[in-house]
Amino acid sequence: MSDLSCWQQLYRLQRPSPLQRLFHPLLEQHRLTLWIKRDDLLHPLISGNKWRKLKYILRQALSEQAGGLLSFGGAYSNHLHALAAAGHELGLPTVGMVRGEPYSNNPTLDDARRWGMTLEFVDRQQYRRRQDADWLAELTRRHPGYLVIPEGGSCPLALPGVAELWQELWQEWWPELPELDELVLPVASGGTLAGLLSARPASTRVRGYAVLKGAGWLAEEVCRLYPPAALDNGWQLELGHHGGGYAKSSPADRAAIGELAEQLGVPLEPIYSGKALLGLFRDIAAGRYAAGNRLLFLHTGGMQGARGAL
Ligand SMILES: Cc1ncc(COP(=O)(O)O)c(C=O)c1O
């Protein structure tokens, strides 16, 4: 089988992710309608925004006959997990540059190793150099012919796969849906948000909840990934719901996320979708969403990362 037919096989496993209406007393009280797009169920091997972002990167790697794939992430990285699974399916070797100490019993890394990913552990100081041209050149020398993918898969080639979410909504669901006022999602490196902005319908605003602390740089990064975003006033970032920082949250916030998951009947993890959805509910309670609005929350997946982190 040719490499591209492996990609097509992987592509065929994708199904339009379900759209669910959510019910909660707070929504009634504020006269809001909320749906959730369950991208956690988008693909059986590579869930959520990872499949959307990696889709065309993987195709490019195959058409360029890359020798392998190399990328960066933390010890619970959804991105490295997805990349390892994809490499395994496509017959491409993968290397993960992991921030931190070797963890022997972390399920994310165990899966990655099982799928053949070579893990190289680096300390925080070295990891900070992940965009540094000298280090990237050294990695390319050590792994000749590999496609080097930025952390989180966020690069211009990630955008078209994310943009397809709108088409999926129109084709599969829109006829039954009224127009949406706002799409809400968790944001870390900004690639998913940039991809959504690249095909945003004029009548739907996009609001990203940053899951990292001190993300003042994020708007600029979104504009670097998708320059027309700088002239688009139909989107905004919420920077105040980081819960203490990336992958951090107080016991009270974790309990609140667990309670929300139960009330809404949707699985949530505390790092991305749980944190952002809690932020959305808190902002609704604070009256920051206009009555009568129709909202869509994007569940970006990442449930695998919660296995060892909780
Ligand atoms: C599950 C999940 N949701 C959301 C995000 C944030 O996406 P982005 O980095 O494109 O902003 C990530 C990280 O990439 C993630 O793993």
| Domain of residue 208, residue span | 13-44+156-309
For 14, 180, 213, 229, 301, the CA distances from 44, given in Å and listed in that order, are 7, 27, 31, 32, 11
51 lines ligand 1 (CB under 6 A): no
Q: Do 259 and 140 share a structural domain?
A: no
Q: Do 112 and 17 share a structural domain?
A: no
Domain-embedded: residue 4:
no
Q: What is the pTM of this model?
A: 0.95
Domain-embedded: residue 272:
yes
At 204, which CATH number?
3.40.50.1100
299 lines ligand 1 (CB under 6 A): no
Domain-embedded: residue 5:
no
Q: Do 177 and 36 share a structural domain?
A: yes
Residues 173-205 pLDDT 10s: 766 666 899 999 999 999 999 999 999 999 999
Domain-embedded: residue 3:
no
Would you say the C-alpha torsion 268, 222, 279, 213 has a positive or negative sign?
A: positive
150 lines ligand 1 (CB under 6 A): no
Confidence label for 308 from pLDDT (cuts 50, 70 and 90): low
Q: Do 149 and 160 share a structural domain?
A: no
Q: What torsion do the CA atoms of 171, 202, 210, 167 make, to the nearest 10 degrees?
A: 10
Say how many domains are in the chain.
2
Mutate which of 57, 272, 297 for ligand 1? The one with the most ligand atoms within 8 Å of its CB, which is: 272
Q: What torsion do the CA atoms of 110, 115, 116, 118 make, to the nearest 10 degrees?
A: -50
Tokens representing 13? 């496993």
Compute the distance between CA of residue 217 and CA of residue 205 in angstroms, rounded to an integer.
Answer: 21
The domain boundary, picked from 102, 123, 153, lies at 153
Q: Do 283 and 305 share a structural domain?
A: yes
Domain-embedded: residue 23:
yes
Say if strands 33-38 and 19-22 run parallel, antiparallel, or are unpaired.
antiparallel
Give residue 268's region: left, alpha or beta (phi > 0; psi -120 to 50).
beta
**12 CB burial (10 A radius; 0-12, 13-18, 19+):** exposed
Q: Do 202 and 174 share a structural domain?
A: yes
Compute the distance between CA of residue 300 and CA of residue 15 in angstroms, rounded to an integer.
Answer: 15
Type of residue numbered 240: G
Domain-embedded: residue 38:
yes
Domain-embedded: residue 116:
yes
Tokens representing 197? 């902005």
Residues 47-101 pLDDT 10s: 899 999 999 999 999 999 999 999 999 999 999 999 999 999 999 999 999 998 8
Q: Do 163 and 148 share a structural domain?
A: no
Tokens representing 97? 């540059």
Ligand 1 centroid vs 49 CA: distance in angstroms?
7
The domain boundary, picked from 153, 187, 213, lies at 153
48 lines ligand 1 (CB under 6 A): yes
Q: Do 143 and 98 share a structural domain?
A: yes
Q: Do 143 and 110 share a structural domain?
A: yes
Residues 214-268 pLDDT 10s: 999 999 999 999 999 999 999 999 999 999 999 899 999 999 999 999 999 999 9
Ligand 1 centroid vs 101 CA: distance in angstroms?
22
Q: Assess contact for 117 and 84: CB atoms under 8 A.
A: yes
Q: Do 63 and 35 share a structural domain?
A: no
The domain boundary, picked from 153, 169, 191, lies at 153
Q: Do 187 and 108 share a structural domain?
A: no
300 lines ligand 1 (CB under 6 A): yes
Q: Do 227 and 168 share a structural domain?
A: yes
Q: Which residues contact 7 (CB under 8 A, 6 or more apart)?
A: 58, 59, 62, 90
Q: Assess contact for 160 and 56: CB atoms under 8 A.
A: yes
Compute the distance between CA of residue 282 and CA of residue 241 in angstroms, rounded to an integer.
Answer: 9
